[in-house]
Amino acid sequence: MASISPFKALRPKPENAVQVASRPYDVLNSDEAQIEVKGNPFSFLHVTKSEIDLPVDVHQYSSLVYEKAKENIESLIHKGILLREAKPCYYIYQLVMDGRSQTGLVCISSVDDYDNDIIKKHEFTRPEKENDRIQHISITGAQTGNVFLAFRHNQPLDNIIENWKKDHVAVYDFTADDAIRHTIWIVDEQDTIQAITSIFTEQIPQTYIADGHHRAASAAKVRKALGDHATPEASWFLTTLFPSSQLKIMDYNRVVKDLNGLTHEILIEKIKQDFDVELAAKAVSPNTLHEFGMYVKGQWYKLNAKPGTWKDDPIGVLDVTLLSEKILEKHLGIADQRTDKRIDFVGGIRGLGELEKRVDSGEMAIAFSLYPVSIEQLFDIADSGNVMPPKSTWFEPKLRDGLLTHLIY
């Protein structure tokens, strides 16, 4: 069964919450972060993307970046912008985006559960991104990034959370500049804390990583590296758990730097071996499984996989697998998406215009839009012990960094 625990969050004073709360470190690049923090010295991006406070020639994975992150988080604490909770608590985090609400439980989850596969994975991690988080956690002593866990709907837990929201005043309630409303309640009554803990230890056999494989893997490796010097807090990592009934997965698209020595005309002819290809008058947002959009040389195409090109198993049926096997590997020479520098991933929240922008600029040569994976597909794959190709799922809305941080020492 799943082991969770309340914790003493490092969090902003209510009057500072809007300034501190920042978008997750991995959804924007350094230039975007630099723009976002302009005029805001309290933004948590100064901690999670601290390269923005260093000269531009300092590499984002330099040790100077992590030392700067430590300096910045200590400064926020010293100035009284961030405070440490007096006692271990759970936290209820509600997000509202485009009129749609979802509510999760913020807690710490067991590293042992991660190691023992009670926390299920569905992706391999990319080494450089994993090492980045290992260094960040080790040097700052803080788990600043939340791991987004899903679990199968549990009505008793829903009842506890909804009753708490109804009967208590939120500590934070604001709408961010991206129009997403963030509301957080502190669960500090011992009877309720115990009731929530018991539901997980008695009724929820496993949880599933929806978003945050690198953050979870990094927390586990930091605990292992600390060895006998590991604090009790290092055996837990920051998570927010959402019932599957409330989650929405968006598309996670691909862009590739070159055509592997092919002209786009020859590539299209090769793709026709496995797909029906037709010109499209506008950007293609796939409407069904096994339908893809492709953008190359200023033109969109609609691709429909031919019968028999996919396998009838949890992994083989996925569009990310089909694209990987029948185009990326077969024609573009990309065998390992985790390590190949020629491919990048674009979350669906950025829109199809982002794909066009990156191709039209010359940075990339070709883009592919995909149909989203379903939450049940994610569960089936994790339960079967398989993994998806990297960057297969994109969840929205995103939790804000800086509102609730877990300190390991």
Tell me the pLDDT tens digit for each residue of 137-168. 999 999 999 999 999 999 999 999 999 999 99
Residue 134 banded pLDDT, cuts 50, 70, 90: very high
Helix-, strand-, coil-residue percentages of the chain, each rounded to 5:
35, 25, 35
Mean pLDDT, residues 59-88 taken together: 97
| Residue 207 to residue 149: CA distance in whole angstroms | 6
In angstroms, how far is CA 405 from the centroid of its own chain? Answer: 16
User: What are the φ/ψ torsions at residue 98 (nearest 5 degrees)?
Assistant: 55, 40
pLDDT at 384 (0 to 100): 86
In angstroms, how far is CA 372 from the centroid of its own chain? Answer: 15
Tell me the pLDDT tens digit for each residue of 94-121. 999 999 999 999 999 999 999 999 999 9
pLDDT at 338 (0 to 100): 82
> How many CB atoms are closer than 10 A to CB 86?
8
pLDDT at 315 (0 to 100): 87
pLDDT at 93 (0 to 100): 98
Mean pLDDT, residues 350-368 taken together: 97
pLDDT at 122 (0 to 100): 83
Mean pLDDT, residues 248-259 taken together: 94
Residue 309 banded pLDDT, cuts 50, 70, 90: very high
Residue 256 banded pLDDT, cuts 50, 70, 90: very high
Mean pLDDT, residues 111-136 taken together: 92
Residue 133 banded pLDDT, cuts 50, 70, 90: very high
User: What are the φ/ψ torsions at residue 248 (nearest 5 degrees)?
Assistant: -130, 125
- Per DSSP, 265 falls in state H
User: What are the φ/ψ torsions at residue 134 (nearest 5 degrees)?
Assistant: -60, -45
Residue 394 banded pLDDT, cuts 50, 70, 90: confident
Percent residues over pLDDT 70 in the chain: 100
Question: ∠ CA 400-401-405 to the nearest 5 degrees?
Answer: 130
pLDDT at 322 (0 to 100): 95
pLDDT at 289 (0 to 100): 94
Residue 169 banded pLDDT, cuts 50, 70, 90: very high
Plot region of 388 (φ>0 → left; ψ -120 to 50 → alpha; else → beta): beta
Helix (H, G, I), strand (E, B) or coil at 300: strand
**Judging by beta carbons within 10 Å of its beta carbon (0-12, 13-18, 19+), is residue 263 exposed, middle or buried?**
exposed
Q: Is the pLDDT of residue 313 over 90?
A: no
Residues 6+ apart with CB under 8 A from 312: none
- Which domains can be identified in the chain, with CATH numbers? 4-249+396-407 (no CATH), 252-371 (3.30.1760)
Mean pLDDT, residues 328-335 taken together: 97
Mean pLDDT, residues 394-399 taken together: 88
Tell me the pLDDT tens digit for each residue of 265-287. 999 999 999 999 999 999 999 99
Mean pLDDT, residues 127-143 taken together: 95
Which range is least confidently modeled, 39-43, 248-252, 285-289? 248-252
Q: Is the pLDDT of residue 349 over 90?
A: no
DSSP state letters, 116-162: TTSEE--B---HHHHHHHHHHHHHH-EE-SPEEEEE---HHHHHHHH
pLDDT at 38 (0 to 100): 95
Q: Is the pLDDT of residue 132 over 90?
A: yes
Mean pLDDT for all residues in the chain: 95
| Residue 357 to residue 258: CA distance in whole angstroms | 15
Residue 253 banded pLDDT, cuts 50, 70, 90: very high
Q: Is the pLDDT of residue 9 over 80?
A: yes
